[in-house]
Structures are given as structure tokens and as C-alpha cells.
Structure 1
Amino acid sequence: MNPRFVFFDLDNTLLDHNSAEAAAHNELYHSTPELQEITLDDWLNTYKSINHQLWLRYQEGDIDRHGLQRLRFHDSMVQLGVSTGRSDEIGSAYMQFYRNHWEWVDGAKEALEKVSQTFPIGIVTNGFLETQQKKIEKMGLGRHTDLFIITEEIGVMKPHPRVFDVATERAGVDRESILYVGDSYSSDIIGGRNAGWNTAWFTALVSEIEEGQSADFQFDNFDDLLKILHI
């Protein structure tokens, strides 16, 4: 594999979103009397289900990001029979806890440094603009690239073709010369493939791989990515 440009996804590829989310919810639960009326497992299961559905609505343009941020806590608390009087405050507290737990995926920091010394790189990520910008700043990603594409700025989310068209234009190389490294099969691998990019599927944090799902390269250890790139 000999790309001329490498794009990386951010959450659950370079940064461990799952661990940060879990730690934030644990901290939120133990500091919020309303949530302690139910079990932590009931809270997590309900929140994850409602949050997933709201993200789908957000992706379809049915709600905006402010609605998503508000409703995922409000609606979860309603479903569990918990008082919603402080739902907005609790949602804000969660975001602060979440920011306190951002960490690199194992091996990702070292791999990113090595790849960026060999290839021009960029980041393409879904997520809220301000949150993703803070991640980029806190983790020092600006040392490696100044090409950050946060889909909220474009107005559609991966895997929408417009995201990949904008990224291709900003990379300044042919589509077939781009490698995209990401964890989400639907957003990153299918989106990248449909855009004519090469794809490297990072599966270490993927909960389930369905039969027939594949990428140009699949890996669960960043050392293997470096080997395929001859670094």
C-alpha cells in the first residue's frame, strides 16, 4: 500500500471515546442523586439506546445538535421515571466529565507521529464542532497537520459523499491515492470506499464484525498499520 495522503478518523481510532464515555457516565452517576434512584446499568442501557436513535435523527437532519444534546438526557430520564428538572444541568456536567477522560488508543499516538513523518495526513471526524476542536487542541494534533474536517462544519455527517468530496479537494491528491483509517464500518469504510479511497479498518474497539464486512486492510494493532505502510 503506497498512498500519497492518509486521513484518520478521531473517535475510537486515535482517541478512546468508549473509555472516556464510560468513565464520564460513572462519574456522573455517582455525583447525581436523581440517577442513583436507578441502577447504573439501567441508566447506561437506556441512555445508549436513546442516544443512538437521536444520533440517527441528527444524521438525517431531523433534529439539530442542541436538540440531540438536550434530549438524550431528558428522554432517558423520562423513560426511567426520573425527575427531569435538572436534565440540562446534568447533560452539561456529563460533557465536562467526558472532557476529563480523553486518552489515546493504545499505540495510536506513536503510529500517528510516524505516519505524519512519512505522509501528509488529515483528520475527518463526525461529532460536535466545539468538542472535536477541544480534543484536537488538548491532544496536540496540530503538531501533525492543519487539515481537520469536522463534519458539523460541512452540514452533513459521514458517510455522506460531500464529506469525502471536501476532504479529497483539501488533500489535493487523486481519490485513489488516499488511505482512510477508521473504526466505523458504516461511516468510515463504506464512506471511504464509495468515495474511491483506500480503507484501513481499525477493529480493536469494534464490538461486532458481521459476515461480509471487509476493507482494503483490516487491523487491530497499530504496528500492523505501520508495516503495511512500510514505516
Structure 2
Amino acid sequence: MRYESIIFDLDNTLLNFELCERQAILGALEDCAISLDLNGVSETNFLQVFETYNSQYWRQRETFSPIELIEIYYRSTLAQLDIQTDQISNLGESYWHIFNHFAVMEPDVNEVLTVLARSYRLAVITNGFVSAQLPRIQAAGIEHFFEEVVVSEAIGFAKPSPEIFNHALSKLDLTPAQVLYVGDSLNHDYVGATQVRIDFCYYNRKNQNLPSEVKPKFIISELLNLLELFK
């Protein structure tokens, strides 16, 4: 059956999350006049420590606001690296502003979406905060391509929960057989899509080996490969 719609994951599928995050982490330090060089700390070391606390506290995202979480990341990282500052609250606000208003896209996103939009209804299913994901799509200048953008916070269910996929199908008034889902995460995207019998295209952006039991409908290493699938 010919697909009617192609639905995309957002982070590390359309937007390069790692580069977006790096830009925000280091940009906030610059905004608040905190020099890593003067403190004898490399960017790589700072980012590694920051990511450790990000992973540790992210599960508490339902307890804290996004800016409160970011302040925790910075406070913990700066304390571990023995960097003194009175700019913690400013760091959180600066990070959030940068992260939400500057976007780094994966290669060839505009070309791929432009071509696919001529023949398919396009949409996004993404985990995250509404206050981040929607502005980031706008910052990338790609919001006009999508008929629907479904954000986990808005509906109370996150990937791989089948509810978020069923919500998107309901909004688009489509059946699973009419949809292809494109994403980079086996745990969130592959599991979620296959639970509701949506065909899955794995964007294997880092050319990782797949477990033998994982069998996506398609595998691509570049987004441009999508255009080859639908010639």
C-alpha cells in the first residue's frame, strides 16, 4: 500500500540534538562571562560532566521546570569542576533561550522535506517540552512542512508509548498502514512505531550494528536516501 504520510522524529533525525545542546551549553557560559580557559577546564571536559548530570536528573523533568533542571545541571557541573560564579539563574535562562531559538539541522533536511511534501502529508512525533520543540522547529524554518507536530508533554504520553502514535494517527485521520515513521532511536522510535504496526524507517546516522531481532522496514544512513525509496 502506498503511504499517505511520512512522520518524523525530531531530535537526531531532523535536528542535530548534540550540536544544538553544545551550542546552548557553551553559549550560555559565554553570555555570563564564564571562561573555561581561565579556570583550566577544557570544553570537552565541561560537556562530559554536564552530560553526566543531565542524564542523572532528566528523569525528574516532571518535578522541575526546564530552566530549573538546567540550573541543576550547571550548578552541579560548576561545583564538581570548582568554577565559582553567581550567574547560575542567568545560565539557565540563557541556555533555554539559545536552545530554543537556534537550530542545527541534520544534512539535507530542507531538500528532503521539500521533495517529500509534494507527494506526502508530513508530520512530527517528538518527546520533549512544548516550549522547546515547537520554537526549535520554527528556528529551523521547517514548520511549514508539517501538518501536525505532536509533542509528548502536550498529550501526556511519550515514545515508545503507543498512545502518542495513536494520537498522531487520529489527528491525521490515517490508519497505521498509511504511514511511515522515520527516526533514529530503536528504543523509542522503532519500539513505539512497531507496537502500533506503523512501518519504521531507521535513520542509522552513526552506522551502528543492529541486534538480530530488530527488523525495520527500511534502513537509511543519510536522509537523502529517503528520496531513493520513493522514486
Give TM-score, length-normalised by structure 2.
0.85
Match of 1:189 in 2: 190
Match of 2:155 in 1: 154
Amino acid at match of 2:4: R
- Which contiguous aligned blocks of 4+ residues in structure 1 show a shift greater than 6 angstroms? none
Match of 2:143 in 1: 142
Amino acid at match of 1:135: R
Tell me, in whole angstroms, the C-alpha distance in 1 between the residues paired with 2:180 and 2:88: 41
- Cα drift, residue 209 of structure 1: 4.3
Tell me, in whole angstroms, the C-alpha distance in 2 between the residues paired with 1:157 and 1:52: 17
- Cα drift, residue 30 of structure 1: 4.5
Match of 1:221 in 2: 222
Cα deviation per residue 1:127-171 (whole Å; 9 max; x = unaligned)? 221221212223333322231111111123211222112112112
Instruction: Provide the secondary structure at the position in 1 that maps to 2:72.
Output: helix
In the alignment, does 2:49 pair up with 1:49? Answer: no
Contact 1:164 1:192 in 2 (8 A): yes
Q: Per the alignment, do residues 165 and 84 of structure 1 end up closer, same or farther by CA in structure 2, a change over 3 Å counting?
A: farther
Cα deviation per residue 1:100-142 (whole Å; 9 max; x = unaligned)? 5413211111111111111111111122212212122233333
Aligned residues: 227
Amino acid at match of 2:138: E
Q: Per the alignment, do residues 74 and 156 of structure 1 end up closer, same or farther by CA in structure 2, a change over 3 Å counting?
A: farther
Tell me, in whole angstroms, the C-alpha distance in 1 between the residues paired with 2:87 and 2:112: 42
Match of 1:14 in 2: 14
Match of 1:77 in 2: 78
- Cα drift, residue 92 of structure 1: 1.7
Give TM-score, length-normalised by structure 1.
0.85
Contact 2:67 2:96 in 1 (8 A): no
**Unmatched runs of 5 consecutive residues or more in structure 1:** none
Instruction: Provide the secondary structure at the position in 2 that maps to 1:118.
Output: coil
Tell me, in whole angstroms, the C-alpha distance in 2 between the residues paired with 1:33 and 1:65: 21
Instruction: Provide the secondary structure at the position in 1 that maps to 2:84.
Output: coil
Cα deviation per residue 1:158-195 (whole Å; 9 max; x = unaligned)? 11222112112112111132111111221111111112
Tell me, in whole angstroms, the C-alpha distance in 2 between the residues paired with 1:109 and 1:137: 13
Q: Per the alignment, do residues 23 and 78 of structure 1 end up closer, same or farther by CA in structure 2, a change over 3 Å counting?
A: same
Instruction: Provide the secondary structure at the position in 2 that maps to 1:135.
Output: helix
Tell me, in whole angstroms, the C-alpha distance in 1 between the residues paired with 2:97 and 2:63: 26
Cα deviation per residue 1:189-223 (whole Å; 9 max; x = unaligned)? 1111112111111122x485453344221111223
Q: Per the alignment, do residues 99 and 124 of structure 1 end up closer, same or farther by CA in structure 2, a change over 3 Å counting?
A: same
CA RMSD of aligned residues (A): 2.5
Instruction: Provide the secondary structure at the position in 1 that maps to 2:6.
Output: strand
Instruction: Provide the secondary structure at the position in 2 that maps to 1:222.
Output: coil
Give identity over the alignment, percent.
22
Contact 2:71 2:91 in 1 (8 A): no
**Unmatched runs of 5 consecutive residues or more in structure 2:** none
Tell me, in whole angstroms, the C-alpha distance in 2 between the residues paired with 1:65 and 1:207: 32
Tell me, in whole angstroms, the C-alpha distance in 2 between the residues paired with 1:168 and 1:136: 20
